[in-house]
A and B are shown apart, each in its own frame.
Chain A
């Protein structure tokens, strides 16, 4: 799988390249600025891009803007955005087109190499990988103001969080060390309680959850 990596700090870029190579990815390009990224995304047609939000030359949200522009040019282009901090505002912008293949994670998540690589693969496959922090912000905010989420059991909330991050039932089952059937039961309970239609598609599940969480915006 061919990856474009964009990160301006040499140490982090090098680390990412080494980690991805170790897990069998092919590095199409490792760039350090916005224009280079835009060029690489347009020319090299990678399977997935791992992009830092803040890039030179502006050192603002250049990486995010590049990723959004590239996705407008090539809808569904899988992009995993990394950031030193996560903001719902950016998560919304990334998810806005609803085509999936989007990830938005804290840089810390690379500490757990396996989970991180799993997120890259999920995004490359058209799924989503949302940072638990974003999801938690959304869930805590919603539960404070309206009831449906309050009716969930603690276990169901756990499952919902993992689901919203973009994991499949199998993934959630592995994470929580239970059977996949138990998770399937939880998810159908959650959907029933939240009044959502059941769907097998990971990506649509996340979007449905986020859309529900988002509905009063």
Chain B
């Protein structure tokens, strides 16, 4: 049993080593000429910029360099699982050659790509070729030991050097075989690591602070969205107060003033106005209540996300099953974002899905708050421009949250939201 497993893993490992050797060889053979060519072309092209020719050739060549770097990135991910982030600056669609050239040369990512070329034809070449050498060189050693030394060693006293072993007869050929065996073991142990090292080298040069740059870009974007949203929200609240509660209170004040005058000589009309003033005050309260619910729902403040979603479900016209497994409460802004996201998704489901049942599931695992809303409707929901789901995505984005929608035609629709957060 145990040996079977060992044999299995050995075979898998041997296969991996062999595959890496072939890949390394291909890489080395392809990268060296392409790298050198692009390096020379880039240098020449940049040198010709003052003459004007470079303005036309540089963008094309740099695009080629980027393509080569992109291939390297893709292979790193596919072969060794090494993710190399890239953060190219966006290029305006209709830029003249001048801006194009200088934009490209000013892009730190492009500069890293160019810097990567000399590294890839030197250190990169060695690390790519090494696996192939480690795998294929021992083969020659074994063949020498098996008798291949004869044609290599011409006549008596001739010597063929296998690495540092002088092969002149069968005994020394066995020595070469021994060295080959040692090399094979080394290959078996180190080839996958060498291959990984090759791509990690690429990442060190190509990656740079790309991850950080990308992160900054995302943060800038979500911050702008958040600011936009909250500004719009403030405008809405201001307008609602102005047109609603405030106006009603003014009307009430006026009614009370009139009542003050009327109360002596026309008590009947005063009474009527009093009733009206009371209605106005009740309606002002009603409007304030709705407004408060729109800003921060009272149940959310009092009980937290779980009960707030339960209360929300009770107000929906469709039977909605809510399961909550939250051992604590998240920060207020996260709770609020999650609540309004769920609210939007549920409203969408009620309005558009044609479902007759909805399930909402809230739980917290591995530092993430995960909320799933499923309905048995007709499906076909998509996150796109103008859809409510895009708004939800933006709302969650502020907290690094993500939204996934699975909604095949014919249903069911399942919307999953995840927000990294800690519960207290």
Confirm or deny: A36 has a beta carbon within 8 angstroms of a beta carbon on chain B.
no
Which chain A positions have C-beta within 8 A of B315? 88, 137, 141
- Report if A61-B314 is in contact (Cβ < 8 Å); known contacts: A85-B292, A85-B298, A111-B282: no
The answer on a CB contact under 8 Å between B302 and A53 is yes
Interface residues on B, range: 20 to 34
Which chain B positions have C-beta within 8 A of A61? 302-303
Closest chain A CB from B117 CB (angstroms): 63
The answer on a CB contact under 8 Å between B311 and A144 is no
Closest to B316 in A: A141
Which chain A positions have C-beta within 8 A of B316? 141
Confirm or deny: A114 has a beta carbon within 8 angstroms of a beta carbon on chain B.
no
Confirm or deny: A54 has a beta carbon within 8 angstroms of a beta carbon on chain B.
yes
Confirm or deny: B317 has a beta carbon within 8 angstroms of a beta carbon on chain A.
yes
Confirm or deny: B278 has a beta carbon within 8 angstroms of a beta carbon on chain A.
yes
The answer on a CB contact under 8 Å between A88 and B314 is yes
Partner of A54, one of B285, B302, B317: B302
Which chain A positions have C-beta within 8 A of B318? 145
The answer on a CB contact under 8 Å between B314 and A89 is yes
Confirm or deny: A43 has a beta carbon within 8 angstroms of a beta carbon on chain B.
no
Closest chain B CB from A20 CB (angstroms): 20
Closest chain A CB from B302 CB (angstroms): 4
The answer on a CB contact under 8 Å between B314 and A137 is yes
Confirm or deny: B319 has a beta carbon within 8 angstroms of a beta carbon on chain A.
yes
Confirm or deny: A158 has a beta carbon within 8 angstroms of a beta carbon on chain B.
no
CA distance A60 to B300 in the complex (A): 9
Confirm or deny: B40 has a beta carbon within 8 angstroms of a beta carbon on chain A.
no
1/0 per position for A82-126, CB-CB distance to B under 8 A? 011101110000000000000000011001000000000000000
The answer on a CB contact under 8 Å between B319 and A145 is yes
CA distance A95 to B278 in the complex (A): 30
The answer on a CB contact under 8 Å between B319 and A87 is no
The answer on a CB contact under 8 Å between A87 and B299 is yes
The answer on a CB contact under 8 Å between A89 and B302 is no
Closest chain B CB from A64 CB (angstroms): 8
Which chain A positions have C-beta within 8 A of B292? 84-85
Which of B281, B289, B301 gathers most chain A CB within 10 Å? B289
Confirm or deny: B310 has a beta carbon within 8 angstroms of a beta carbon on chain A.
yes
What are 16 A-B contacts defined by CB distance under 8 Å? A61-B303, A83-B298, A84-B289, A85-B293, A85-B298, A87-B299, A87-B311, A89-B303, A107-B285, A108-B286, A111-B281, A111-B282, A137-B314, A141-B314, A141-B315, A145-B319
A-B contact sample (18 more), CB < 8 A, given A137-B315, A141-B317, A144-B317: A54-B302, A60-B302, A61-B303, A84-B292, A85-B292, A87-B298, A87-B299, A87-B314, A88-B314, A89-B310, A107-B285, A108-B282, A108-B285, A108-B286, A111-B278, A111-B281, A141-B315, A216-B319
On A, residues with C-beta under 8 Å from B are 53-54, 60-61, 83-85, 87-89, 107-108, 111, 137, 140-141, 144-145, 216
